Structure 1
Amino acid sequence: MRRLWYPSRTGTRLVDVTDTGTVLDRGAVRSPAAPPVLGALGLFTVLLGAALPLIDFFIVNVALPTIGRDLDASEAVLELVVAGYGVSYAVLLVLGGRLGDLFGRRRLFLGGMAAFGVTSLACGLAPSAWTLVAARVAQGAASAAMLPQVLATIQSATAGPRRARAMGLYGATAGLSMVAGQILGGVLVAADIAGTGWRSVFLVNVPVVIAGLVLAARAVPETRSQRPEPVDGPGTVLLAVAMLALLLPLTEGRAAGWPLWTWLSLILFPFAALAFCLVERRADRQGRTPLVPPGLLALTSLRRGLIMIVPFSIGFSGFMFVIAVALQEGAGRGPVAAGLALAPMAVVFFAVSLCGPRLVARYGTRVVTAGGLIQAVGVALIALAAWRSWPGLGVLELLPGAAVAGAGQALQLPVLFRVVLSEVPAVRAGVGGGVMITTQQSALALGVATLGSLFLALVPGHGMRDALVITLLVQLAGVVLTTALSLRLPRTVG
């Protein structure tokens, strides 16, 4: 007897052919499910989803003065417009990754993107400053549901060179979005489309989200962990408490005058962080699934890559905030000029980042070290331009430094993303991506809080030019630290 399978319109059918030639039809047999594949359109769609939250973190920087005048908002409330989004986004990212592993990443991506569109509409229609703050907090939560699914989908639905190219494009998209958000914000505020003014920086998301939902429904494959793990309730709560205790006082303290609650919150942070670590280790020893598995942090590539992402992101976001304030409030530039001053950085970043995969294949992670050295030269050139040209600092004066710094950043950020996730197993792609983006997002918030506060504190005593130069030199020290840390990265990237 011979056993044969043959295709039919309903799938695969199994038949037995006896020695006498009799055919025995055994009926339809379910074909083994093909592994999910992320095609070009699907990759474009998830990268669009990755761009939206990062653009919206920076798009309000040049719109804040206009928002303050229109809504009669104090400086502390305006900082909450930025911090409320960033903190809720950072606090919920790991949970968003876990939920994607559990319920399906495509499902969470679609739900998060839809929620992002609704909350963007709420931001654009906000009648008061506190309504805008509430809408921004909700928008950050929607971002936390959407963004971890991007990296998890790439990890689960690509392999080999295709994954390397996809991760390179993700890094390019992330870096470009952070610069382009500030440029786009300035253009939209100045354009005052249909009299919407600053509201257009949020309303522009709505048609983009609608297009993204249509594309995602057609082109993004469903992936999920083969061994879904339940949500770690105690770990989720303790991580949220620890991050809120650190980020809220640092982002709000200076504008609020450092009241007692800010100091109590900072004192609480190390205790909450220690409690989180202890609870996670105990859950792991007892065979339960912690929110952040200790085994994940034991991966050398992930741990060392995360350590590098912190100073890099602090310097990046701090610079973006400080240069926006300095150009508008100090040099008297309008929102368009303040945004376009960084256009050379965005263009060079994108162009150089596309070369990253080939350079990494040839030189390994020493590309990151070279990028740090190049970025240091760029930041030094920007500081020199500020010192020599103030208050006539504009696009031409910033062009050499911004272009060189953009090239250096492009050789670091996309490669660091690849390094961090290179050893993370596919079944934990969601939580791995969530941990990485949480680290990056927390550092972005810290950059605005620390370098931004330093700059604003220096202005009354030293003037705008000297405050800008000193802040840039502090950032330069952070670039040197990042470059030194890059020497400890694994030499090759998977």
Structure 2
Amino acid sequence: MTSQTLPAAARPEAPALGPVALTTLLFGAFLPMLSFFIINVALPAIGSDLRASTGELQLVVGSYGIANATLLVVGGRLGDGFGRKRLFLWGLAGFTLTSLLCAIAPTIGVLLAARAIQGASAAAMTPQVLSKISSLLTGAHRARAMAMFGVAGGLAAALGQILGGVLVSADLFGLGWRAVFLVNVPVGLVAIALAIRLLPETRATNRLPVDGVGAGLLALTLVLLLLPLTEGRPLGWPLWTWLCLAAVIPMGIALALHQRRTERSGAVPLIPPSVLKLRPMRIGLVLALGFFTTFGGFMFVFALATQGEAGMTPLEGGLSLLPMAIGFLVTSIYGPRLQVRYGAGLIVRGWLVQSVGYAALGVVALTLWPEVTPLTMTLPLLVAGFGGGLVMVPLIGVVVGQVPPQQAGLGSGILLTSQQTCIALGAATVGTAYLALASTSWGQGGALAAVCLAIVAISVAMAPVTTRLGR
């Protein structure tokens, strides 16, 4: 994704995005994140119906994340060249169609393939959201829209598991878990109709070629990392898993060298080293790693724990996250105003508030397990959701706001790529650690508490790192 457009003073005035048009555009952020997290509550039902292993269930999450993360920057670059509205519509149409394919999947293999294509479709759609916000809005309107982009992702994450629990438990027309994919179809069709009518077309003035070699190296690096992490434990860590992990470092070095060589030649690489050298980007990537890895991992293990030893139904497990969704909703209302006042300091406060919520949830898991209920977890999850929203909502806007305008598009693409990569990485790493602990004397309650306390430690460590954004 790039911002290779004429300066605001030189380009003709672009059409403004009205409330309905902006809401339609934000579906490009909401639907992909909803689909990523709605599946968590449905995983046990999918495993039972399709006879899937734990590793295959992790891949239901991971295959989507790998495809999405790998192609986000490519999607942004294609939108710049061929038209952002066009790519948004193609991505939304592909996402809607693959949602239907996921819903009718007869085997776990078909489901995994459809999920990967769904992730690729989302990668064509999501980058256009930030690109169009940057090209069509300015000043306070742009800042508010960027904050709403973060809100859409946070609400989708929390509401996704609630909606998933409702749909699986309701078993509408005997569909069971398949309803969590079918729900995207009517929403997607409505969004397509609105987008065709309301969204103006924009594109970059200079069409930049896609770094195909860089995209391939990034994809291979992510697969070598995430595949063995998801499949290693259930398969007993065979030799190929260790060989894949060992290959990650040389593959990552090859990617870095190719990106540096490409940029020095005067071309535009997939992930320009010059953008990564910018201080706000380096700090932003560290913060994204800390937040999205732990957040994605927690959402994955929470669904397994509540529907495991805690004996909750999918509905109860999903409704347990309602307080977290409320926390994100409160943040969405007041976050933009607080961001103007506190800037990066708002994210620091978010880390600290979040750590209090997860610490309290860890105590609940240690003392009450397995007799936990949605009520006993209400206050900890409300606090964790409020704190998490204070981190997630302003993160991209604060970081990109400190990047030079001519590099803001590329910076947004890199942050979105890291977001999706880290969420998939969290499901793989945190999920594997949780499952390993849960099979010992710790049990699922102790394993959930350990995950919560690990999030507390990372949150506290991230707070001083965040203060460097304002320097």
What TM-score do you get using the length of structure 2 for normalisation?
0.94
Relative to 1, partners in 2 of residues 1:408 and 1:356: Cα closer, same or farther, differing over 3 Å?
A: same
Residues 375, 479 of structure 1: 8 Å contact kept:
yes
Structure richer in helix, relative to its length: 2
Q: Which residue of 1 aligns with 2:457?
A: 477
Residue 487 of structure 1 deviates from its aligned partner by 1.5
Matched, 1:487 2:457: no
Structure 1 counterpart of 2:393, from 414, 433, 436: 414
Query: What is the alpha-carbon distance in structure 2 between the residues aligned to residue 396 and residue 191 of structure 1?
Result: 21
Matched, 1:366 2:345: yes
Residues 48, 212 of structure 1: 8 Å contact kept:
yes
Structure 1 counterpart of 2:431, from 452, 472, 477: 452
Which has more radius of gyration?
1
Matched, 1:390 2:369: yes
How is 1:285-434 mapped onto 2 (pairs within 5 angstroms)? 285-424=264-403, 430-434=409-413
Any unmatched runs of 5+ in structure 1? 1-31
Q: How many residues align?
A: 460
Q: In structure 2, what residue type is equivalent to 1:99?
A: L
**CA displacement, residues 301-323 of structure 1 (integer Å, 9 cap, x when unaligned):** 22211210111111111111111
Q: In structure 1, what residue type is equivalent to 2:432?
A: S
**CA displacement, residues 166-214 of structure 1 (integer Å, 9 cap, x when unaligned):** 0111111111111111111111001111111111000111100000001
Structure 1 counterpart of 2:226, from 222, 236, 247: 247
Q: Which residue of 2 aligns with 1:22?
A: none
Q: In structure 2, what residue type is equivalent to 1:72?
A: R
Matched, 1:260 2:261: no
- Bigger Cα displacement from structure 2, 292-301 vs 37-46: 292-301
Residue 427 of structure 1 deviates from its aligned partner by 5.8
Matched, 1:98 2:74: no
Q: Which residue of 2 aligns with 1:271?
A: 250
Residue 396 of structure 1 aligns to a residue whose secondary structure is coil
Query: What is the alpha-carbon distance in structure 2 between the residues aligned to residue 427 and residue 225 of structure 1?
Result: 12
Residue 360 of structure 1 deviates from its aligned partner by 2.1
Q: Which residue of 1 aligns with 2:5?
A: none
- Bigger Cα displacement from structure 2, 186-195 vs 240-249: 240-249
Query: What is the alpha-carbon distance in structure 1 between the residues aligned to residue 212 and residue 296 of structure 2?
Result: 31
Residue 364 of structure 1 deviates from its aligned partner by 2.2
CA RMSD of aligned residues (A): 1.5
Q: Which residue of 2 aligns with 1:79?
A: 58
Residues 151, 328 of structure 2: 8 Å contact kept:
yes
**CA displacement, residues 2-31 of structure 1 (integer Å, 9 cap, x when unaligned):** xxxxxxxxxxxxxxxxxxxxxxxxxxxxxx
Q: Which residue of 2 aligns with 1:109?
A: 88
Residue 255 of structure 1 deviates from its aligned partner by 2.2
Residues 113, 213 of structure 1: 8 Å contact kept:
yes
**CA displacement, residues 289-348 of structure 1 (integer Å, 9 cap, x when unaligned):** 211222222322222112101111111111111111111111000000000001011012
**CA displacement, residues 441-464 of structure 1 (integer Å, 9 cap, x when unaligned):** 111111111111111101122222
**CA displacement, residues 102-126 of structure 1 (integer Å, 9 cap, x when unaligned):** 1111111000000001100000011
Q: Which residue of 1 aligns with 2:209?
A: 230
Q: Which residue of 2 aligns with 1:69?
A: 48
**CA displacement, residues 377-408 of structure 1 (integer Å, 9 cap, x when unaligned):** 11111111112221121211111111111111
Q: In structure 1, what residue type is equivalent to 2:443?
A: G
Query: What is the alpha-carbon distance in structure 2 between the residues aligned to residue 39 and residue 432 of structure 1?
Result: 26
Q: In structure 1, what residue type is equivalent to 2:76?
A: G
Query: What is the alpha-carbon distance in structure 1 between the residues aligned to residue 234 and residue 18 of structure 2?
Result: 47
Matched, 1:54 2:58: no
Residue 164 of structure 1 deviates from its aligned partner by 0.9
Structure 2 counterpart of 1:466, from 419, 428, 446: 446
- Bigger Cα displacement from structure 2, 144-153 vs 77-86: 77-86
Query: What is the alpha-carbon distance in structure 1 between the residues aligned to residue 333 and residue 89 of structure 2?
Result: 28
Q: Which residue of 1 aligns with 2:8?
A: none
Residue 429 of structure 1 deviates from its aligned partner by 5.2
Q: In structure 2, what residue type is equivalent to 1:419?
A: V
Residue 470 of structure 2 aligns to a residue whose secondary structure is coil
Any unmatched runs of 5+ in structure 2? 1-10
Structure 1 segments (4+ residues) deviating >6 Å? none
Residues 155, 426 of structure 1: 8 Å contact kept:
no
Query: What is the alpha-carbon distance in structure 2 between the residues aligned to residue 246 and residue 380 of structure 1?
Result: 30
Could you tell me the percent identity over the aligned residues? Answer: 49
Q: Which residue of 1 aligns with 2:418?
A: 439
What TM-score do you get using the length of structure 1 for normalisation?
0.90
Q: Which has the higher contact order (CA 8 A, sep 6+)?
A: 2
**CA displacement, residues 84-136 of structure 1 (integer Å, 9 cap, x when unaligned):** 11111111111111111111111110000000011000000111111111111
Q: Which residue of 2 aligns with 1:129?
A: 108
Query: What is the alpha-carbon distance in structure 1 between the residues aligned to residue 362 and residue 143 of structure 2?
Result: 35
Query: What is the alpha-carbon distance in structure 1 between the residues aligned to residue 65 and residue 372 of structure 2?
Result: 29
Residue 256 of structure 1 deviates from its aligned partner by 2.5
Residue 231 of structure 1 aligns to a residue whose secondary structure is coil
Q: Which residue of 1 aligns with 2:6?
A: none
Residues 109, 147 of structure 1: 8 Å contact kept:
yes
- Bigger Cα displacement from structure 2, 311-320 vs 463-472: 463-472
Residues 80, 204 of structure 2: 8 Å contact kept:
yes
- Bigger Cα displacement from structure 2, 117-126 vs 92-101: 92-101
**CA displacement, residues 365-387 of structure 1 (integer Å, 9 cap, x when unaligned):** 11111111111111111111112
**CA displacement, residues 249-301 of structure 1 (integer Å, 9 cap, x when unaligned):** 22222223222221111111111111111111111111112112222223222
